[in-house]
Amino acid sequence: MKSICDVKTYVKPKFFCISIKKMILPACFCLFTIGLVIFSKNNLAASKSGLSLWANHVVPSLLPFFMATELLSHTNVIFVLGRVLNSIMMPVFRVPGCGAYALLMGIISGYPIGAKIVTQFRENKLCTKAEAERLLAFTNNSGPLFIIGTVGISLFGNHLIGLLLFITHILSCFTVGFLFRFWKAKEKNSASSSSTSTSESVSFSNLGTVLSQSIFSAVKSVIMIGGFVVLFSVILSILADTNFLSLGNKLLSPILELFGIYDGRFSTALFSGIIELTNGVQQMSMITCRAISVNIILCAFLLGFGGFSILLQVYSITSKTDISIKAYFIGKLLQGIFAAIYTFFFITWFPIFNLNL
């Protein structure tokens, strides 16, 4: 009888925990659906705003780059670049030379091109699982078009701010890449120079097929991103209507107060940016403050981290492989912290970047 009782007391808590775990996501989806109905007026406006942001900014800037990366994946450019730069990328970052292609395209084109390229590398067996996770941690970045053009010139009205944010963004990216050379350091590296692609090589005989495949894949990726933009625009609207943004303000305020930031508007904008990057950066730029360096430093963190919206975009891209999203999350968090630190030092040491009134 004792052993039977012991078994019963062991099984019940385990079954209860599993039930709660299974109900978390369905409960969240139900609450989201209820929020859509209750706050339908504001959600409609947020959805339109998200669609406008996607159509006017995301599609023109990302679609050509998605097409270009798809077309280049059918050539030997990646392999040539890998052989040339392997002597640099391997000692510094412990990744194959082809990683330079992911890093370069990730910097030029912005989120989430870097993640898409690294996923292609892993699918084509151009790198090991550990190397793919190292690459993912620092090659998926915000591009100059968004940082300098949108954030610097459009939002802050100053190209120097955009230039400063871009410089510190790249410096923090390289810093994270160097630190992640120690990620799973015991695992063996790949022989990238001998890797071969499983993609169909482009020629005049199959040019039409390769073009149509590349365009279809690029459009599919851009539509997926558009869905995330609209989804998180609506989520932010619901959070604002239910006062959860003010709850985020209360959670982040004590942390910001440690750095001498007592204005609650900063914590609200920071919380919004942690959820969705573009909305958070826009709110941060609209805060009037004599010490504008606070706005810039917090924007640097948000640009480095990227927000949970981009995190889920990356996860949706990498989920078809064995790449762990944990490495990406840690890497982006570190990049946000380093970007904020570098921005603080630049503002302190170089008077040209000190725009405080």
Give 333's DSSP letter.
H
CA–CA gap between residue 108 and residue 115 (Å, rounded): 13
CA–CA gap between residue 304 and residue 242 (Å, rounded): 28
- How long a stretch of residues is the chain? 357
Which candidate, 241, 244, 247, 268, places its Cα nearest to that of 256? 268
pLDDT of residue 313: 87
pLDDT of residue 298: 94
Give residue limits of the domains in the chain: 1-38, 40-353
CA–CA gap between residue 42 and residue 240 (Å, rounded): 10
Residues 6 or more apart in contact with residue 117 via CB below 8 angstroms: 69, 101, 102, 105, 106, 139
> Per-residue pLDDT for the chain (357 aa), expressed as one digit of tens each?
555 555 555 555 554 455 566 777 788 888 888 888 888 888 888 888 888 878 887 787 778 877 887 787 777 777 777 777 778 888 889 888 888 888 888 888 778 888 988 998 898 888 889 999 999 999 999 888 888 888 888 888 888 999 999 999 999 999 999 999 888 777 776 654 444 444 556 666 677 888 888 888 888 878 888 888 888 888 888 888 888 877 777 888 888 888 888 878 888 889 889 988 888 888 888 888 777 888 999 999 999 999 898 998 899 888 888 898 999 999 999 999 999 999 999 998 988 877 775
Which candidate, 180, 156, 174, places its Cα nearest to that of 298? 156
Helices (DSSP H) in 180-306: which residue ranges?
207-241, 244-257, 264-275, 277-285, 292-305
Distance in angstroms between the alpha carbons of the first and the last residue of the chain = 79
- Look at the block and give the residue holding tokens 């958070």: 280
pLDDT of residue 153: 86
Give 153: exposed, middle or buried? Use CB within 10 Å, 0-12, 13-18, 19+: middle
pLDDT of residue 302: 95
Residues 6 or more apart in contact with residue 212 via CB below 8 angstroms: none
CB distance 131 to 190 below 8 Å: yes
